[in-house]
Amino acid sequence: MSDISEFLKYAEFNKANKKVMGWLKTTLSNYVKKNEVQIVEAEHIIDYLCQNEVVKINMMSYPQAVKKSEKWTLMLQKQADKIIEKPDDAKVVFDFKDGFKVVQLIGKNAFIREGKLMRNCVASYFGKDTKIYSLRDKFNNSHCTMEVS
């Protein structure tokens, strides 16, 4: 993929600041001209950059961004592992009978844990007038966060 327009749209959707957009337009753009970039990997880097203030971002290479975003993910997962969801924090609304289920997030712990596991801002939705659902596997790990207004 030599066109980064989809990555730029993703970054804009995630409210990337000017520094992040500049890094994408230069560093990422130059990298994808010479290398195959996985969409999931690039979007993960964008998530990391949008949620963290990176000092000297203009000097960070794409491989360095990969390593930093992976380290960030491990940190979030460790934080999420420490959050104990109580039985009334989430309610099963659909069971696929294969280990996967859809749960509605109800309690604060469920919102915080979901946000850390999925690297999103869903924790800020706790207490708001919206319904949030999560696709969970048999280990209660999140795979998708959904909002219904």
Q: So what's the pLDDT on residue 90?
A: 97
Residue 40: closest CA among 74, 81, 6, 84: 6
Local confidence pLDDT in tens for the 149 residues of the chain: 457 999 999 999 888 999 999 999 999 999 999 999 998 899 889 989 988 889 899 999 999 999 999 999 889 889 988 999 999 999 999 999 999 999 999 999 999 999 999 888 899 899 999 999 999 999 899 999 999 97
The DSSP result for 62-124, as a single string, is HHHHHHHHHHHHHHHHHHHHT----GGGEEEEEE-SSS-EEEEE-SHHHHHHHHHHHTSSGGG
Alpha-carbon gap, residue 80 to 65, rounded angstroms? 22
Please list the residues that pair with 91 across neighbouring strands: 104
- Asked whether 115 and 121 are in contact (CB, 8 A), the reply is yes
Residue 139: closest CA among 85, 88, 94, 93: 85
Q: So what's the pLDDT on residue 137?
A: 95
Give the HSE-up count for residue 71: Cα atoms under 13 Å, Cβ half-sphere: 8
User: Per 3-state DSSP, what percentage of the chain is helix, strand, and coil (rounded to 5)?
Assistant: 55, 15, 30
Q: So what's the pLDDT on residue 15?
A: 87
Whose structure tokens read 């380290």? 71
